[in-house]
């Protein structure tokens, strides 16, 4: 059991230790990074650069374009209607939590309304997913569904820890340290279950269920050669966060995912990118789309009810819908894929222990 969680533990420990280690080796004052909550940047962000903004926009557009081109279907994807089922008994819980979130935000704490509404949305999506497809995360394996909440909290606090060094966003009017910690933990805990639930719900929608399926297989061959370069690059991004935060933050941001892919390649086992070899991009595309939708909703709520946090990226400028530069929105995708990888690690103890009527675990939505 402990061995199954070893890659996850390695990634989290390296994310925790390498940034302060890099700062100490470079003789950087570590106290400039450790502020909880981070009410203001410890130093001024570098002004926006046309060159850096243009290059980042070009690279982002090229990456998105290449992904959409490679993942296009090479043949028709047949989809059959899923017979409807009855609403589950707990389907009322989602709408009730959504109404409670509105009431709490209006009369008491707007800080609490966001994560409470996301929890209600997660339960509502699972209820509708079960009615549409006959299965959901809540129904098929409630223990795994509950396990996603502490894993989501761990991922959220890991990214928060990295932000103490990068200082990409700050909290202009935070509550006290204890209240902030509790609210942030709740915020982070609800994100991963919401991401996976929304991903699976999107996969049942007409026109989206076959998205990315039957694409040209991406021949990767033996990728174990890439293991140590990925691990080394991820380690450099993490250690550099305490030395050159304003310049290296794009690499630091994707470093947890690079470490995960490196450890996965080192094991030689199929993992996060396994579907690409058979031409199935659906899992990654649905996860990325779900992450963008959740990011838009979270930032819209932040602008409407707050702002509770403010982004302040170095070097990157240009159009900033909802207060975040366009390229910054692509940053939610590596976070989402890292969360998907972590969810896969947590699912390992349940593999092979499925109920007979639920042969697929984790829950897989398949439209034939």
pLDDT, one tens digit per residue, over 229-282 is 999 999 999 999 999 999 999 999 999 999 999 999 888 777 888 888 888 898
Q: What pTM does this model have? A: 0.90
Query: What is the reported pLDDT for 83?
Result: 59
Helix axes 110-133, 191-202, angle to 10 degrees: 30
Residue 88, domain member (yes or no): no
Report, as ranges of residue numbers, the positions in the chain whose pLDDT lies below 50.
354-361, 365-368
Residue 216 lies inside a defined structural domain of this protein: yes
**What are the pLDDT digits (tens) for 14-48?**
999 999 999 999 888 888 888 889 999 888 889 98
Domain count, the chain: 1
- Looking at residue 358, its pLDDT comes to 39
From the list 210, 240, 222, 252, the residue with the least C-alpha distance to 366 is 210
pLDDT score, position 23: 92
User: How long, in residues, is the chain?
Assistant: 368
**Domain housing 155:** 13-23+137-350
Beta-bridged to residue 169, according to DSSP, are 311
Pairing of strands 310-311, 169-170: antiparallel
129 in a domain, yes or no? Answer: no
Please indicate, yes or no, if residue 2 is contained in any of the structural domains. Answer: no
In a domain, 324, yes or no: yes
Does 114 fall in a domain? no
Question: How far, in Å, are 136, 209, 314, 365 from residue 87 at the CA level?
Answer: 12, 21, 48, 18
Helix, coil or strand: residue 167: coil
Q: Give domain status of residue 3, yes or no.
A: no
Q: Which of 165, 175, 156 is nearest to 34 (CA)?
A: 165
Instruction: Give me the pLDDT at residue 253, please.
Output: 96
CA triplet 303, 309, 311: central angle to 5 degrees? 95
End-to-end Cα distance, the chain: 35
Instruction: Return phi, psi of residue 140, to 5°.
Output: -75, -40
């Amino acid at each position: 059991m402990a061995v199954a969680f070893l890659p996850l533990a390695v990634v989290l420990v390296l994310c925790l230790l390498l940034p302060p280690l890099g700062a100490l080796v470079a003789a950087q004052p570590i106290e400039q990074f450790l502020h909880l909550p981070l009410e203001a940047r410890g130093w001024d962000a570098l002004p926006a650069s046309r060159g850096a903004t243009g290059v980042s926009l070009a690279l982002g557009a090229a990456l998105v374009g290449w992904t959409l081109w490679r993942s296009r279907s090479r043949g028709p994807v047949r989809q059959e209607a899923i017979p409807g089922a009855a609403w589950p008994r707990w389907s009322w819980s989602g709408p009730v939590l959504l109404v409670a979130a509105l009431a709490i935000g209006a009369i008491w704490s707007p800080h609490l309304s966001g994560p409470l509404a996301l929890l209600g949305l997660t339960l509502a999506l699972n209820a509708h997913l079960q009615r549409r497809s006959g299965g959901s995360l809540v129904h098929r394996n409630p223990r795994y569904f509950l396990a996603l909440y502490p894993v989501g909290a761990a991922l959220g606090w890991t990214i928060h820890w990295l932000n103490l060094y990068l200082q990409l966003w700050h909290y202009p009017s935070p509550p006290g340290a204890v209240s902030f910690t509790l609210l942030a933990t709740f915020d982070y805990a609800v994100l991963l279950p919401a991401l996976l639930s929304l991903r699976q719900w999107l996969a049942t929608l007409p026109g989206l269920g076959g998205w990315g399926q039957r694409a040209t297989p991406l021949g990767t061959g033996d990728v174990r050669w890439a293991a140590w370069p990925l691990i080394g690059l991820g380690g450099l991004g993490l250690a550099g966060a305490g030395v050159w935060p304003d310049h290296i933050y794009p690499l630091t941001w994707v470093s947890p995912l690079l470490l995960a892919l490196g450890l996965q390649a080192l094991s030689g086992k199929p993992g996060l990118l396994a579907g690409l070899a058979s031409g199935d991009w659906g899992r990654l595309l649905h996860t990325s789309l779900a992450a963008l939708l959740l990011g838009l909703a979270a930032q819209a709520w932040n602008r409407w009810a707050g702002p509770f946090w403010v982004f302040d990226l170095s070097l990157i400028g240009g159009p900033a819908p909802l207060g975040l530069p366009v390229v910054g929105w692509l940053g939610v995708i590596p976070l989402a894929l890292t969360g998907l990888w972590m969810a896969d690690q947590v699912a390992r103890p349940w593999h092979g222990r499925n109920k007979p009527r639920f042969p697929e675990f984790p829950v897989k939505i398949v439209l034939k």
